[in-house]
Amino acid sequence: MSGDTLKYKNYRNRLIAGCLLLGILSSAQAVPVTYDVSGIKGELLDNVKYYLAALPVIDSQRAEGRQAKISDAIIRSLQAMGYYSPKIDFKFPAEKSHSLQIRIDPRKPVKVRQMQVVLEGDAKKDADFLKILSSLDLDTGDVFHHGKYENIKRRLKTLAATNGYFDAELSKSDVQVYPRDEAADISIIFDSGPRYHFGSINVDGIEQRQLINPLFHFKQGDAYNTRKLAELSQSLSQTRYFQVVDVHPNMGQANPTNGYQIPITVHLEKKKSNQMETGLGFSTDEGPRVQWNWERPWVNDYGHRFSSQIKVAQTTQTVDFSYRIPNKNPIDDYYQIQTTYENKDQDDTQSQKIETGLHYWTTLMGEWQRDYFFKTAYEMYEQGEDSGNSLLFMPGAAITRVRSRGGIDPYWGDIQSLSVMFSDPSWASDTRFVKVWGRTKWLRTYATNHRFILRAEQGALLWGELSEIPASQRFFTGGDQTVRGYGYEAISPVDSSGDLSGALNTTAGSIEYNYQIAPKWRIATFVDVGTATNDYQDPWKIGTGFGGRWLTPVGQLRFDLAFGVSEQSVPFRLHFALGPEL
């Protein structure tokens, strides 16, 4: 190898190394540009920021060379909102600055001059489509918004798929924009084609078809609607009769010769004769508990169902037997015979009670569940200085509504519940009273992360003497669900021995705020107030504190550190509970 060749190779290697070093140093000094946008606000500003954030990372010292790409992104973001003639001024970063200052004058927007949305096909007579036409997102004189224009088309397509227009198409979808005239002309022609209908309905897997007939809200020949199929599938699952529910539309069998009718196949597989499950749990109200459930979903072909539950907790043990007989609807209309034995030994309460009730459950307007009942209860009890045996016959009624959105972790919902029952010696009860109890709870979420939970409860025993009313019917408060910072049912008037006596009235309320700090975590703070009293002369109890919320696969785990701030020597308690918020 010659000397000149060796010198060349050494020079080449040094040159390559120098270039690599220079590249590394340049990369180390490169700082991404930041955008400081002024002149616009609100939705316009948000959209511009969104488009700029989608651009590749730009070195702040090379931003001027990327002006065309930046301008193009800004123009596209403004045109999407109807602004087609903006004026954009740039002030590029100085040597030691990384901020690109952008001032935007959007000028006058393009407005809708002509708006034409035409329906063709069977949709012309469909009330749901006519409702869309009467509530379009855009109208003559509005600023032309691409998102709203696309939403009109999306609503038409979605409704067509839902209502059974499976041949639907947009035969015309056109927008002409005239920036100089500040005008846009929109023309949409939606050809729905024919509407399909429900065909024959074939059900297998059940002998007594009339049991589930009330769950079918459509029949052969009705206009097709996917929501009705989804509701049927959900209702069949809610009966708890079946381990397999398959509602299947046979789309390929529909054609012009059969009137575009789609046959429906419903395949059902019954649950096993005996269903058993066990569970462990813990809450600061009840302590550790174990529960065993046994259910026979099918006592006979008429849908009678038997279930039993044994629950053993630190202070309370219960055994429950229930027999359900469907009436008009196996979900919303049925009779139930229920017998419960309860043994309770908590604080100053010792009680053994056996109660049997005949219930008629029905649902009003799809939301309010009503329970008309007649209960017979025999109880042996000691409550502080009071003790005795009690036999009660109690007719009554209860009404409840639960609404929730968001599944296992609801973001919106509420519960309302009200019950009243009567006892009187005129029908052989040992004592006279009227018991009224009501509760409401509201959950609302704002701006995604801010959740508020409000709760209120009121109960009263009317026309009765406390000493003659058995322990299980008296009111107590305190604990996880009422006033945190105090023990479960530890708030009550006391007798001359200082023991809890229970009360004729109870009132409780709470306000709680949750803030989401991670996908499965929230922090919480709250204030609870409540009392159990005979005459509202007793002091109110106030609990306040903070806690955490962890979303688990089986519901929300709540843990709170609460302080009874209404006491001179402030007590505190750690509360745990697991389960749904509503």
- Among 137, 156, 191, the domain-final residue is 191
Quick one: 224 and 254 in the same domain?
yes
User: Do 460 and 553 fall within a single domain?
Assistant: yes
What was the pLDDT predicted at 372? 97
Domain total for the chain?
5
292-320 tens-digit pLDDT: 999 999 999 899 999 999 999 988 999 99
Cα separation, 537 vs 493, in Å, equals: 10
| Low-confidence residues in the chain, pLDDT < 70 | 1-30, 365-366
Closest CA to 128 of 156, 106, 87: 156
Identify the pLDDT of residue 13. 55
Same domain, 69 and 177: no
**pLDDT of 225:** 95
pLDDT at 59: 86
User: Do 458 and 416 share a domain, yes or no?
Assistant: yes
Measure the CA angle with vertex 166, ends 161 and 172; round to 5°.
90
Choosing from 224, 240, 270, the residue where a domain stops is 270
What are the structure tokens assigned to 385, written together?
């200085």
Q: Is residue 530 a part of any domain in this protein?
A: yes
Determine the length of the chain: 582
- Position 379 scores a pLDDT of 97
**pLDDT value at position 29?**
54
Predicted local confidence at residue 244, as pLDDT: 95
Question: Regarding beta strands 99-105 and 34-38, do their DSSP bridges make them parallel or antiparallel, or are they unpaired?
Answer: parallel
pLDDT given at position 121: 94
Question: What domain range is 4 assigned to?
Answer: 1-30
Residues 334-386: tens digit of each pLDDT: 999 999 999 999 889 999 999 999 999 998 766 899 999 999 999 999 999 99
Residue 482 lies in a domain: yes
Residue 146 sits in the same domain as residue 249? no
Q: Is residue 78 part of a domain?
A: yes
Helix (H) or strand (E) holding 148: helix 146-162
Question: Could you tell me the end-to-end alpha-carbon distance of the chain, in angstroms, rounded to an integer?
Answer: 86
For residue 408, give the CATH number of its domain. 2.40.160.50
Say what the pLDDT of residue 27 is. Answer: 43
Q: Looking at the domain assignment, is residue 54 inside a domain?
A: yes
Average predicted confidence (pLDDT) for the chain: 91
Would residue 342 count as lying in a domain?
no
Q: What confidence score (pLDDT) does residue 10 get?
A: 55
pLDDT for res 295:
96
- Whether 523 maps to a domain, the answer reads yes
Residue-level pLDDT at 96: 73
Same domain, 410 and 546: yes
Q: Do 51 and 186 sit in the same domain of this protein?
A: no
In angstroms, rounded to a whole number, what is the distance separating the alpha carbons of residues 376 and 355?
A: 6
Residues 51 and 19 in one domain: no
The pair of three-digit structure tokens given for residue 4, joined into one six-digit string: 């000149």
Q: How far is 67 from 533, CA to CA, in rounded Å?
A: 74
* Residue 161's CATH number: 3.10.20.310
Could you say which of 55, 80, 105 is where a domain stops? 105
Angle at 402 between CA 396 and CA 405, to 5 degrees: 175
455 and 571 share a domain? yes
Instruction: For residue 511, give the nearest of 432, 565, 451 by alpha carbon.
Output: 451
Q: Does residue 326 form part of some domain? A: no
Q: Are residues 221 and 100 in the same domain?
A: no
Q: What is the DSSP letter of 15?
A: H
Please tell me whether residues 437 and 386 are part of one structural domain.
yes
Judge whether 291 lies within some domain: no
Residues 120 and 258 in one domain: no
